[in-house]
Structure 1
């Protein structure tokens, strides 16, 4: 009876080991049946594992490059949306002001000046757009919001109008305000960087944007009750600025076209990566793919063997207990 008990114990231990191995194989095969890829590539590929790992690295690098391209595309899209808002906000203001000033229609001039101020508010808001924590129109100073409230600019324009001797003097002051490094534009209004090292970024100090803002600010201050209207040559100034605003809008279109070149390049690169991904994935799959039908069939077989092992173990346990009681 002792020999029988020892033999039964050895068989139970052997079965327990087999059960553990079967459960491990079932886990591995179940994963392979689901993923369609061998779990242990080193065992499956033997001496070819280096080639497979190079293929996998190439795919990983491709995914990283695609993520970077998608990030750049998202930023460019936000820039384009903001610049579109700039154009839409200014549309029609130049024509309305030219019509009103040409007919000496004070109500029309006042209404258009108010529209120019509203457009200016919208533009400042659009230029404060950010992607994550990065302000897109601040040049290299991406952590700095580029603009405060537009009232800061309007107060400065009103101040220049009140100190100017005539419209020519006002224009001289306005030019220095926007173009000089010590002018009010850089000292009081724009808080970003004048430098945009990334060719796909745009500083709100860009000449096209600055020109549009300057023109709208002057028109916003051109109401018949404002200080600017008291200067000699007021009517000619408003006509000149209105015509200039039309050119400034064209400048924004040109800027958008420049950004569109980058967008097209990114789109082309993404298409090329998609083609490359297809080829690399196919090559990698040929080396590492597991037939899912074959894996599922093997899984069923392993599960049947495991059930049988459990059954034998249970019977041995009962036999051992009977021997012990006998």
Structure 2
């Protein structure tokens, strides 16, 4: 062979030069596409401390963001459930107060039947789950905090068996929900503790189905539901008087529910402020991280043009050398 490309000394040099130019061209193209330095180590001169600290801070913010998002979702579900419960309580209470004393037995039965459905709906709302956790439960997240409505009423009927007058029955129902009878059916466990939502700050939603506002409201609904299950059967006057008292209870429990909603709202405000601070800190950290490793687009463009020109010249020279014979070289 008389081709210059067969020269064992020249060919490796050309190969290395071409490979080096192509590698630099690829790296520069990558920098222009991503906006980041291709060789982070060289940019930072081997000092990854600041970059690692920034990444750690961003990871911490990400954890706070996940916590605030989950708590915000839970708080929203709590408020929605309370709003539904309050609406049902106010409507049923209003119906009982306005009509109970003047209703016939069949008409009263229709109202108490509606009250039974409301009680079942309220229990279902208290057992609502968000992100695989019961909204009004505690640390025992695998189970619903309350049994079904009929199981609760069955236990309540057993507890008040033998109580005769409407006034005594009403007092016994209130006592049962306020005390150990209702608590024995609750399986949600202790309230969930505080969760870190920002640097040095925790938030919690320690509101369960054992909250006094929930107990008081359930007692009112349960009284109407007991009438639907036959409480005071055969004594229309006593049934009407008991229904009227249940209506008063449902109306008067609105203040306790409003206080509970306000306590949840206070936590929602805290979460909103924490989210705003976390978002601002994340933006600042992201900018700082970008500044550490970003590529100068103008410098990268100039370098790319230079490399393209050099690589084009390299290919031109290589092509000419590949066509050069030994005879032509010796002329």
Report the TM-score, using the length of structure 2 for normalisation: 0.81
Other-structure match for 2:86: 87
Mapped to 2, the partners of 1:143 and 1:53 lie a distance apart of 38
User: What is the RMSD computed on CA atoms of the aligned residues?
Assistant: 3.2
Q: Which residues in structure 2 correspond to 1:62-77 (within 5 Å)? A: 62-77=61-76
Aligned to 1:26: 25
> What is aligned with 2:189?
193
Counterpart check, 1:302 vs 2:277: no
| Cα-to-partner distance string for 1:178-225 (whole Å, 9 max, x where unaligned) | 2443x2x344x43322544443132112111122122101112235x8
CA distance in 2 between counterparts of 1:321 and 1:156 reads 108
When you count helix as a share of all residues, which structure comes out higher?
A: 1
Q: Is the 8 A contact 1:113 1:222 kept in 2?
A: yes
Greater mean alpha carbon deviation, residues 130-139 or residues 156-165: 156-165
Aligned-residue offset at 1:2: 7.5
Q: Secondary structure at the match of 1:222?
A: helix
For residues 125 and 286 of structure 1, the distance between their equivalents in structure 2, rounded to whole angstroms, comes to 52
Q: CA deviation at 1:39?
A: 3.2
Pair 1:51-2:50 in alignment: yes
CA displacement at 1:93 relative to structure 2:
0.6
- Greater shift, 311-320 or 131-140, is seen at 311-320
Partner of 1:250: 255
Partner of 1:112: 111
Which residue matches 1:281? Answer: 286
TM-score normalised by length of structure 1: 0.82
1:305 and 1:114 map into 2 onto residues whose CA distance is 89
Distance (whole Å) between structure 1 residues aligned to residue 119 and residue 315 of structure 2: 79
The corresponding residue for 2:143 is 144
**1:30 is paired with a residue of what secondary structure?**
helix
SS of equivalent residue, structure 2 residue 9: helix
Q: 2:225 aligned with 1:226, yes or no?
A: no
C-alpha distance in 1 between matches for 2:159 and 2:5: 108
Contact 1:90–1:116 under 8 Å retained in 2: no
Q: Assess if the C-alpha contact under 8 Å between 2:178 and 2:215 holds in 1.
A: no
CA 1:14–1:174 in structure 2 vs 1: closer, same or farther (change >3 Å)? same
User: Structure 2 CA distance, aligned partners of 1:177 and 1:194?
Assistant: 20
Hey, what's the Cα distance between the residues in 1 that align with 2:91 and 2:274?
38
> Number of aligned pairs?
318
Question: Does 2:242 correspond to 1:263?
Answer: no
Q: In 2, Cα distance between the equivalents of 1:321 and 1:128?
A: 91
Bigger shift: residues 70-79 or 166-175 = 166-175
Q: CA separation in 1, counterparts of 2:277 and 2:163?
A: 59
